């Protein structure tokens, strides 16, 4: 199967330091090579939120080496599904793309205790997304 046949997902939030990083990490971890995964932010932070890094480590996923990336039109064009998480009007909308908006609490400034339920909700949403776009046994 060529890479172009894989479904591709772009997760977008303002800082690309919390929700979108967790979503991208869960999708990569759970779907493996069945999905192409990207994440970006309309105003990316310098680093991933340390509470997000800690909460994801508890789930067995290391995001400590991830770096927030700036959202580009190219990233949107290269994706089949664009999932926004609170970036509002700053997310480019292109025809022919599927858009979902996940209303998730922003983990910015929160401790790991507050990030855990956000992480768990992200994981559940990712599991549902995988069932829809890249079910197990499909390759």
Residue 100 in 3-state DSSP?
strand
Is 47 a residue of the active site?
no
Residue in 6, 27, 87, 118 annotated catalytic: 87
Q: Is the confidence at residue 138, as pLDDT, over 60? A: no
Say if CB 22 and CB 63 are below 8 A apart: yes
Of residues 88 and 13, more confidently modeled:
13
Mean pLDDT confidence for 14-20: 95
Residue in 9, 13, 31, 40 annotated catalytic: 13
List, for residues 33-58, the tens digit of each pLDDT value.
Answer: 999 999 999 899 999 999 999 999 99
Q: Both tokens of residue 37? A: 């995964």
Amino acid 88: pLDDT: 63
Q: Is the confidence at residue 129, as pLDDT, over 80? A: yes
Amino acid 2: pLDDT: 40
Is 114 a residue of the active site?
no
52 dihedral zone (left: phi>0; alpha: psi -120 to 50; beta): alpha
Mean pLDDT confidence for 69-80: 93
Mean pLDDT confidence for 56-85: 95
- Close Cβ partners of 4 (under 8 Å, ≥ 6 residues apart): none
Q: According to DSSP H, which parts of the chain are helical?
A: 19-31, 50-58, 73-77, 112-133
Amino acid 96: pLDDT: 82
Residue in 37, 91, 122, 133 annotated catalytic: 91
pTM of the entire structure? 0.91
Q: Is the confidence at residue 3, as pLDDT, over 50? A: no
Amino acid 90: pLDDT: 61
- Highest-scoring range by mean pLDDT, 16-30, 74-88, 90-104: 16-30
Is 13 a residue of the active site?
yes
Amino acid 135: pLDDT: 84
- Rg (Cα) of the chain, in Å, rounded? 14
């Amino acid at each position: 199967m060529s890479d172009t046949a894989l479904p591709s997902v772009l997760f977008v939030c303002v800082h690309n330091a919390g929700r979108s990083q967790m979503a991208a990490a869960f999708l990569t971890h759970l779907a493996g090579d069945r999905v192409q995964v990207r994440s970006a932010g309309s105003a990316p932070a310098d680093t991933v939120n340390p509470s997000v890094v800690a909460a994801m480590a508890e789930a067995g996923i290391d995001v400590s080496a991830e770096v927030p990336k700036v959202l580009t039109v190219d990233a949107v064009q290269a994706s089949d599904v664009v999932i926004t998480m609170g970036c509002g009007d700053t997310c480019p909308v292109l025809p022919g793309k599927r858009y979902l908006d996940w209303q998730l609490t922003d983990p910015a400034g929160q401790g790991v205790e507050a990030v855990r339920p956000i992480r768990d909700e992200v994981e559940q949403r990712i599991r549902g997304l995988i069932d829809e776009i890249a079910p197990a046994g499909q390759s």
